[in-house]
Amino acid sequence: MKILWLAIKDIKLTFFDWKAVLILVITPLLLVLILGYALAGVFEDKQIIEKFTVAVVLNHPNNESENLIKQVEQHANQYIHLKEMNQEEAKTEVKSGEIPVMVTVSGDLQKADSIVIQHNIKAELQGKITEQVFNQIIQSSRLLGQAYKATGNTNAVPYQKEDHMETEDISETLFIENSSANDGKIVSSFQYYAAGISVMFILLTGMSGLSSIIEEKKLGTYSRIRMTYTSLPSFIIGKWLSTTATCLLQFFILILGTSLIFNISWGNHLGVLFLLMLAYVFAIGGIVIFLTIFIQTETMANIIRGVGVQIMVLLGGSMIPIHTFPEMLQYAAYITPNYWAQNGLLNLMGGRGFSSITVELLVLFCIGLLTFSIGFIRLSKGEEGNLG
């Protein structure tokens, strides 16, 4: 109960400071807005790319071409839906915009331009996605192995892209996708930055918890608490609780804000999302308690809040997509909790469920448990001779 009162006091202090609340809630929303608007023009409907239909026209179908379609259906059904129709039908649908993309597959895959991808002028992104899907499937040796066994020709990819209508180029960086080949997760830049900025600001909020411990030591309220019947462990758990609770609250506000104001989808599994949020704030709370062992002065805390968080944000890919980094740095990302949180969020935003974030949950939970345990054990002993 006392732990609760300690935590409530901290939360009260946080929310009485309206400037801090403003920074922690409005700034991230503004950042999402700014980044979102900067990129919005690229997306016609300013919406997330949802699963879309691709018209498939099979000219002289045979085993090979049917096999290809099957493979595509199997591996890419998360974000495209194939619909077989004849050439004329497909053209009409694509021209009218009913269906964004059509793929024409001729029977003989060994011939050049045996696969032609055409898309509606407004469906550049969908065209690009379809292109990548077919590209990946064809490149996978499964199909090529069969198709070219006879000829021994394994080089040329037998497809050609032909833009049906005039198009603009899509800048690569705006099209954010997971780089691993079999992972068809695709999220919009809006979602990407909503996730990145949220985890970043929650990191910042967590570090305010660190500052508040230092401030209490400076103010003498920490010493005073220790003169009461309140034990040091209660004080530490109280700080941990208020830090995680404030982070969680902020997380809720950011998710709610971004979905209501910017119509950003955080996926279809709210329960799993909540689990991920819990795991992330659990990790942050632990890290704060752990850092308290080493960070004793306000200056140090400010450095951690300023520089430390920035480094974590950059390393973890919260601002710049991580796959643009050199390999070494990509491994470094694994030590940042925000990397795991964001990765999990992006998975969920891509429409996937619990199984897609088990590793993230586990890693975050372990970070939280380990750091909290070490911090708690060390701090519970108190600091001999330090009047604080």
Partner 1 sequence: MPDILEIKNLTKSFTNKNVVSELSLNIKKGEVYGLIGPNGAGKTTLINMICGLIKPTNGSITMDSQNIYKDNFKFKKLLGVVPQDIALYTALSAKDNLLFWGRMYNLNGEKLKKRVAECLKLVGLDDRANEKISTFSGGMKRRINIAAAILHEPALLIMDEPTVGIDPQSRNHILETIKQLNSKGMSVIYTSHYMEEVEYLCDRIGIIDHGRLIVQGTIEDVILQIGDKSKIIFSLQNNNESAINYIKNNIPNIQEVEDHKLIVNTANVHQTLLNILEVIKDSGESIATIDILSPSLETSFLQITGKSLRD
Ligand X SMILES: Nc1ncnc2c1ncn2[C@@H]1O[C@H](COP(=O)(O)OP(=O)(O)OP(=O)(O)O)[C@@H](O)[C@H]1O
With CB under 5 to 8 Å by kind, the binding choice for 151 among partner 1, ligand X, none is none
Nearest to partner 1 of 179, 221 (CB atom): 221
Residues 189-248 that bind partner 1 (CB under 8 A): 219-221, 223-230
CA distance 75 to 329: 30
What minimum distance in Å lies between the beta carbon of 373 and partner 1? 24
What minimum distance in Å lies between the beta carbon of 1 and partner 1? 8
Residue 86 structure tokens: 């004849």
DSSP letter at 325?
A: S
Contacts with ligand X by CB under 6 A lie at 385, 387
The amino acid occupying position 225 is I
Strands (DSSP E) contained in the chain are: 52-59, 80-84, 101-106, 115-119, 160-161
**DSSP H or E segment with residue 17:** none
Largest CA distance in the chain: 87
CA 192 to chain centre: 6
With CB under 5 to 8 Å by kind, the binding choice for 9 among ligand X, partner 1, none is partner 1
**Number of residue whose CB is nearest ligand X:** 387
What minimum distance in Å lies between the beta carbon of 234 and partner 1? 9
With CB under 5 to 8 Å by kind, the binding choice for 16 among ligand X, partner 1, none is partner 1
CA distance 342 to 11: 25
Nearest to ligand X of 328, 387 (CB atom): 387
DSSP letter at 78?
A: T
Backbone angles phi, psi at 40, to 5 degrees: -60, -40
Beta bridge partners of 104: 57, 116
Nearest to partner 1 of 9, 46 (CB atom): 9
Under the criterion CB under 8 A, does residue 387 sit at the interface with partner 1?
Answer: yes
Nearest to ligand X of 227, 387 (CB atom): 387
What minimum distance in Å lies between the beta carbon of 217 and partner 1? 11
Give the footprint of partner 1 on this chain (CB under 8 A).
2, 5, 9, 12-13, 16-17, 219-221, 223-230, 384-387
